Every structure is written in C-alpha cells, then in structure tokens.
Chain A
Amino acid sequence: MSNKIFAVVTLTVAIALAAVTQLIPNEYFFSAAYTVLLFVILATAWNILGGYTGYVNFGSAAFFAIGAYTTVFLYNAFKAPLPVGIVAGTLVAGLAGLGLGYLTLRLRGVFFAIASLALAVVLYIFVVNWDYVGGARGAYVLQPRDVPFGLPRYIHLIYAVQLVMAGFALVVARAIERSTLGRGLAAIRDDELAAECSGVPTLKLKILSTMASCALMGMAGTTFPYYLSYIEPSSAFSLSYAVNSIAMPLIGGMMSWMGPLIGAVLLGSVQQLVQVTVSSAWNLLIVGVLLVLFVTLAPNGIMGWVDAWRRRKGR
C-alpha cells in the first residue's frame, strides 16, 4: 500500500471510528479511550527514534509536557483555541528535540539517553518555578462551553481529536519506516560505523528522526490540559509516560509501526482495567514487570512472535 492510500485509509477509519463511537452512552469510555490513544501516540513517536534508529529516549514525559505547557501558555496569554495549541506544541517539542539532538547525538547513544532523562528533570524544575503557567500549584484551562460538531461534552471532542492525531502519528511512522530516511535509520541501528562509512549522513538522519519523534510526543500532550481542565507539573512530567512509551513498543515489537500500536492498545487497556479494579500503584508495577519480562525473555515483542509463526507456516 502506498503512503498516500494508507494515509487516506487510516484517517478515514479514525474519523469514522470517532463518529461511530460517539453513540456509546458510557461517559467513562471516552476518558479511558483518550488515555489509551495518548499512549498510542507516545509509543509510536518513541519508536521512531527507539525502534527505527536504536536510540533510547527516557525523556518522553518532557516532550509530552512541553506540548501540554505550550497549550497552557498560549491559553493564558491569548486564550488561544485548541488547534493553535496543537500546532504550536508540536513545533516547540520538535525544536526542543532538535536542540537536545544537536547537543548530544554526536556522542554515544548512552549519553543521549541520560541527557534526555536530565532534560525531563530540568524542565520539571523550570515549570515548578515558573508562576505564569501555574508553577507547582498547577494551572486551570477551562473547556470552552460550546462544543463544535454538536458533541455533548468537551471530552468527546478531545477524544475524537486524539483519535485523529493517533492516526496521523501512525501515518508518519509508517512513511518514515518505508522511506530512504527509514532505511538510513535502520542502517544506523544495525551498525552506525558501517553506515557512516557507506556515506549515510548519520548525524543529520538521527537529528531528523529525533525531531519527528519529539514533535509527535509534544502533539500528544497538547490536548492534555483540556482533558481534566487542570494540569500540574508532577502529573504532566510523570515517570509513567517515560516507562509506558518504552514498554509499549518493546512489548508490541519495535521493527514496524504496528508493534507500538498493539503494545499501546493492549497495555493501555490492561492499565485502565487495573486502575479501576485494583489501584494505580499496582498498575505501574505491572508495567514495570512486563517491561523487564519482555525485554529479557521476548526481546522482539508480540510482533516477533507473529513473524516467527508466519515463517514457520511459510516453510
């Protein structure tokens, strides 16, 4: 399937799904689905750098929060509507990714990983001390009273927007995966020195994939302040975003765009169930344990099993 057809199909399915599910009477469905979709975007975005290029980003929460706080800033400054926040948050997060990548991607991959973690903490402290966006107390972002498209409540809109954005993230990830850029990234992942020797502009490609990945993470965060109408630093910078966006691609499989999607939908839904039936601390423990189990015992994830099964059947 070519990129264009895939894009049309995915976005049509996303919009149709968003329209049909509006009939679901249960209000809780929308907030649960919103969270799962948020993780679909984060996992897909993380995989562009982590799975395709082989560089670990521990700072997912930082870029997510950049997106969220850009929305808050624009809301406080100009009462900017949601679409402006989405575009601006995506761009700012992409620029932050450019900066981080430019400074640390020349070094070994480990340093990038540690620096991305460092960035998350520095930004957290920065936001805690920045009163204009609420500081440690948090900020309120009021949902507009009139919801467009005749939807009953704002969460319905946020959910639909997130669904379309998840479709968009998948389209971007698949396009990168199948382009020359994607092949260059795969070469870097398999052997960076050999790639450099064969004329692959490694630094440029790494920075490009970092930017794409971080921008999408920022995009996932832009709707977040509207989700609860309230945002505070420790929830926006929660370590669980970082853990989930690593665990989901690892569990699903990192080699193709489908892996993060499968991982995010599975793990995200399980977490929603556990959170409601048991407790949120247990749900984090489950993510951590699953991450360690998969990474040690099934390093290629669920898609790895599928591939092995296909190969056996083909033989």
Chain B
Amino acid sequence: MEVSWALLANAVIAGLLLGGFYAAMSVGISISFGMLDVVNIAHPAFIILGSYIAYIVNERFGFDPIVVSVAVSPLFFLLGMILYRIYYICFERRGQESLRGLAFFFGILFITEVALVLVFGVDYRMVSTRYGDVTWRLGPVDFPMRLVVPFLVSMVMVVGVQLFLTRTFFGRAVLAVAQDQLALRLMGVNPVRVKELAFALSIATAGVAGSFLIVIQPVQPAIGREFIGLVFAVCVLGGMGSILGTLLGAFVLGLAESFTSTFFGPSWAPAVSFGLLLATLAFRPSGILGR
C-alpha cells in the first residue's frame, strides 16, 4: 500500500502543477471567448508561436525562455490588436462571425501550423534552462522544477489578470462589454476599442503560456491542435468568462489528466480534456461556476 500512496500523492501534485499551467493557457480564451464572444480557435497557434520564439532566443543567446516571452509579449499584444481589427472589419461588423469568423480563425490556426512546419520541420524542439533538470523531493513526492517554475509564474499571471479585470477602470470596461455592449455605448465608451485591447491581452497571455509549454515539454508545430480542446474545456468547465472558474476548471482538468496517465497510461491523457469537454457541453453547459 505504501507505494500506491506515494503514487497517488505524486499524481495529485503533478495534476495541480499541470493545472496551474493549463490555467495560464486558458486565461486568454476565457477573455476572448468567455467575455468578448470572439471564438478564437487559433489561440493554441499563438501558444505554439510563443514556444518557438522562446526556443529561438534561448538557443541563440541562452536567455531564460520565460523572461524572453515576457519581453516579447508586447509584440503578441500588437499582433492581437491587428488580428481583432481584421476580424471586426471583415466579420463582426457584418454579423458573420458565427460561420465565417470561425472558418477565419481555423485558417489562421492552420497557416501558423503549416508555416512552422515549413520553417522548423516536424522535429520536437526543447529549451535548456538552469532549473530544467532539478527536482525537489519532499518525502516520496517529487516537485520537478520544470513544472514548478511555470506553475508559479502562471499563478502570478492569472491572478494579475484577475486583479486587472476587477480593480482597474479598463478591466471593468472589459467586464461591462461582456455583459451589455449597448449600455457601454450609451455611456460613451467605444466597445470595439475595449474589445480590441482585451483581445490583444488574451493573445499576449498565449505568447507567455507558450514559453511555459516549451519549458515543460518538447514542442512541435502540430501539438497546437491538441490544446484546442484543452483550453475550451477549461473555459467551459469553469463557467464562461470567469477567471476564478478558469482556475478551478484548469485544476480539475490537470488532476483528471494526471490520474488518467498514472493509472491508464499516458496515451489516453489527451482524450481526457476532450471527453470532459463533450461531457460538460452535454450535461452542464454552464460549467461549474456558471449561473
């Protein structure tokens, strides 16, 4: 029995650490999909793009990938602004977001993936960090630093986004867009501008989350699509548009995946998020914290 308790404790810790990272990947979707109603299926593509930028700079100059990603996050912010502008002009303004907007983001996802394959090939890429091979041991429980460091930074980022949204004037404007765009317009605020900046923020978080990803595991272009289900599962599971719910959903998913790969084998783990997503949509579409 002693061994299985250790196994259980390790599964719980690994699940929680992974969950924190999932929260960082999904917080952007919670903003764009949950609050702004922009179904950005291409979100994982920007995560992978962030991974590759961290990888290039890390390989050339040896900088820490997470520091790099924070430094280049303004670029992702700019990219997000441009992308939302195109989306707004071509689809949202014409009321065509439901079908053509989705197809547009799907195309962006696909182009990013294929372009990365053309430039870097399909080999798995990884980064070297000082903490990558370090593991702390607390009794029988392992704390691998390659999971702990992204977990801590993720928590800082998610809590930061939550504080930004609830405590600042602009953040409250974003929450207001989520509730009633017309009312916002009557107050003399341009909802398009608010959505543009909020969408840009969501893309910036994706870029940073990309660096966590490449610290945690090797990355190749096609793994992006595996995370589509994951980020939407977390967003829907927790309840749309709630950052706290996203955090909760991410931990649930992290634990579920960790238990699945411990007890049924890692090849089943990717199916967990999609299975949970399908189950949530079928039985409780409003999510855990949803109203």
Contact = CB atoms under 8 A, between A and B. Distances in A.
Given A54-B98, A122-B275, A299-B100, A104 B281 contact: yes
Nearest to A102: B282
A121 B104 contact: no
Q: Binding site of B, secondary structure by majority: helix, strand, loop or mixed?
A: helix
B99 A121 contact: no
Q: Binding site of A, secondary structure by majority: helix, strand, loop or mixed?
A: helix
A285 B115 contact: yes
A56 B86 contact: no
Given A281-B118, A285-B115, A246 B226 contact: no
A31 B232 CA distance: 38
Contacts of B115: 285
Contact of A114 (B110, B114, B271, B277): B277
B210 to A, nearest CB: 20
A117 B228 contact: yes
Given A58-B106, A115-B278, A129-B268, A121 B111 contact: no
A243 B105 CA distance: 11
B270 to A, nearest CB: 6
Interface string A38-70: 000000000000100011101000000000000
B98 A109 contact: yes
Contacts of B114: 281, 284-285, 288
A205 interface: no
Interface stretch (A137-145, A167-175, A269-277, A290-298): A290-298
B274 A118 contact: yes
Given A111-B281, A239-B110, A288-B114, A117 B229 contact: yes
B99 A239 contact: no
Given A56-B102, A56-B103, A281 B86 contact: no
Contacts of B232: 114, 118
Nearest to A116: B278
A295 B107 CA distance: 9
Nearest to B98: A109
Contacts of B106: 58, 242-243, 246, 291
B267 interface: yes
Interface residues of B, number: 41
Nearest to B274: A118
Contacts of B285: 107, 111
Interface in B78-132: 86, 90, 94, 96, 98-100, 102-104, 106-108, 110-111, 113-115, 117-118
A17 interface: no
Given A113-B39, A125-B270, A299-B100, A118 B110 contact: no
A203 B268 CA distance: 33
B25 to A, nearest CB: 15
A129 B228 CA distance: 21
B105 to A, nearest CB: 9
Nearest to B112: A288
Interface centre among B99, B229, B270, B274, by most A CB within 10 Å?
A: B99
Interface of A: 50, 54-56, 58, 103-104, 107, 109-111, 113-115, 117-119, 121-122, 125-126, 128-129, 239, 242-243, 246-247, 250, 281-282, 284-285, 287-289, 291-292, 295-296, 299
27 contacts: A103-B282, A107-B285, A111-B281, A113-B102, A114-B232, A115-B278, A117-B225, A119-B274, A119-B278, A121-B229, A122-B275, A125-B268, A125-B271, A129-B267, A242-B106, A243-B107, A246-B106, A247-B107, A250-B100, A281-B117, A287-B110, A288-B107, A291-B106, A291-B110, A292-B107, A292-B108, A299-B96
Chain A to chain B: the 9 pairs with minimum beta-carbon distance, closest first: A292-B107, A118-B274, A125-B271, A288-B111, A291-B107, A103-B282, A288-B110, A296-B90, A285-B114
